[in-house]
Amino acid sequence: MTCRDVNECLANDGRGPCQHICYNSPGSFSCYCHSGFNLAQDKSSCLRNQDQCNCGTHGRCVRNYNTRPMCICYDGYRRSSDGLRCTDPEPPCHCGRGSTRCEEIDGVKRCTCARGYRASSDGTRCDDIDECRESENGLADCQEACHNTLGSYSCDCPQRWLRLAADLRSCEERPCNCGSGSSSCSQPNGTKICTCADGYKLALNGASCIDVNECQDNLHDCQGTCQNTVGSYRCSCPERWLRLATDQRSCEELPCSCGQGSTACSWLNGEKICTCADGYEPAPHKASCVEFPCDCGQGSTSCSQLSGKKICTCAEGYRLARNGAVCL
């Protein structure tokens, strides 16, 4: 007995059970589709490729023989679950300011918030916590004043004599300072009280000390001239024969000295007056005494003076005069 092949393709105008093309083979047959079509899963019908792929401008359609068309999407675009379209990427999950994390679980956004923020009631953003307003006394842990900030809060000390302490929460007194010339500074109830040192007086604003001008205000006890200094004053004696006494206030005469041959020295209207011993006479400028020139006259051989007394030695033929001061 011989078996004869049945040509399944004969029917249906040569297409047999195939929608487009039928090839008979011994004991079997195969269906094929025209160009632009793919064989469907039933192995006989054909599907139009271009009707299946719809990648648009975001990708390209890849058709392989006997497989379903598929979009290859360009970077940044997603392939739809059926593989036939390219869609915009999902916007990245974003919770905005104050968030540390954004998640989408089953399409529901959930935000994790940073310290100082809490999630909004719908969980889709983070809201600043107003620490001041939410505290019982409106101050959070500030001592004097609380200011809300995004993600935190800050303290300050409105009174001008106070400042924020290092803990940034409490207030402390500003250092009390009345400046130079002060001897003490205190600020009870925030009002600065300065005490001034000798030679200083309180400035008009009461918050610092300024120099007293003792010369101008006639508060000095200088005998001579007064010169103001910061914190004090200085006396001086303008006349050249006077000098400042050790009390630094009064003036005294300079020590009077006429030198050798003088017996007295005094000042008269700033001029030195010398009294000279015997054998001496005041020098032309009167500030010292000079020896008289020793002269025993023409007939003398020598002249000397001892304790102001002239001693003459006379030449032959001359004799000493009765006053002993000349040879005759």
Q: Can you read off the two tokens belonging to residue 39? A: 């064989």
* 228 near Ca ion (CB under 5 A): yes
Q: How far is the CB of 176 from Ca ion (least distance, A)?
A: 24
**If DSSP states are collapsed to H, E and C, what string results for 104-154?**
EECCEEEEEECCCEEECCCCCCEEECCHHHHCCCCCCCCCCEEEEECCEEE
Q: How far is the CB of 132 from Ca ion (least distance, A)?
A: 8
User: Structure tokens of 109?
Assistant: 């956004």
The CA-atom distances, in angstroms, between 76 and each of 4, 79, 84, 88, 128 are 59, 10, 16, 7, 34
C-alpha torsion 180→181→184→185, nearest 10 = -50
Q: Which of 39-47, 167-175, 211-219, 312-320 is the region at the interface with Ca ion (rule: CB under 5 A)?
A: 211-219
Cα 215 to Cα 144: distance, rounded to the nearest angstrom:
49
Q: According to the binding rule CB under 5 A, does residue 128 interact with Ca ion?
A: yes
Residue 104 CB, nearest approach to Ca ion (Å): 27
* Cβ atoms 183, 194 nearer than 8 A: no
In the complex, least distance from residue 249 CB atom to Ca ion, rounded to whole angstroms: 15
CB of 232 to Ca ion, least distance (A): 5
Residue 52 gets which letter from DSSP?
H
Torsion, Cα 110 115 116 122, to 10 degrees, reads 10
The piece of 159-167, 168-176, 224-232, 237-245 that touches Ca ion (CB under 5 A) is: 224-232
Q: Which residue number, 88 or 198, has a Cβ lying nearer to Ca ion?
A: 198
Within 11-70, which residues bind Ca ion (CB under 5 A)?
Answer: none
CB nearer Ca ion, residue 49 or residue 148:
148
* Least gap, CB of 180 to Ca ion (angstroms): 13
Q: Which amino acid is at 122?
A: D
Residue whose CB is less far from Ca ion, 128 or 141: 128
Nearer to Ca ion, 153 or 280 (CB): 153
Q: Which is nearer to Ca ion, 116 or 279 (CB)?
A: 116
Q: Is 84 exposed, middle or buried (0-12, 13-18, 19+ CB in 10 A)?
A: middle
Phi, psi for 114 (deg, rounded to 5): -75, 170
Piece of 141-149, 201-209, 270-278, 297-305 that binds Ca ion (CB under 5 A): 141-149
Q: Give the residue from 94, 69, 93, 95 showing the smallest Cα distance to 83.
A: 69
Q: Could you tell me which stretch among 49-57, 125-133, 138-146, 272-280 binds Ca ion (CB under 5 A)?
A: 125-133
Least distance to Ca ion, CB of residue 211, Å: 4
Quote the least distance from Cβ 142 to Ca ion, whole Å: 13
DSSP annotation of 327: B
The count of chain residues that interact with Ca ion, using the rule CB under 5 A, is: 5
Nearest-angstrom CA–CA distance, 217 and 74: 95
Binding flag, residue 135, Ca ion (CB under 5 A): no
Q: Least separation, in Å, of the C-beta of 257 and Ca ion?
A: 37
Backbone angles phi, psi at 8, to 5 degrees: -65, -20
Q: Which is nearer to Ca ion, 150 or 328 (CB)?
A: 150
- Contact range with Ca ion by CB under 5 A, out of 26-34, 50-58, 145-153, 170-178: 145-153
Q: Which of 45, 49, 135, 148 binds Ca ion (CB under 5 A)?
A: 148
Q: Given candidates 211, 252, 281, 291, which one binds Ca ion under the rule CB under 5 A?
A: 211
Nearer to Ca ion, 43 or 133 (CB): 133
**Which residues contact Ca ion (rule: CB under 5 A)?**
128, 148, 153, 211, 228
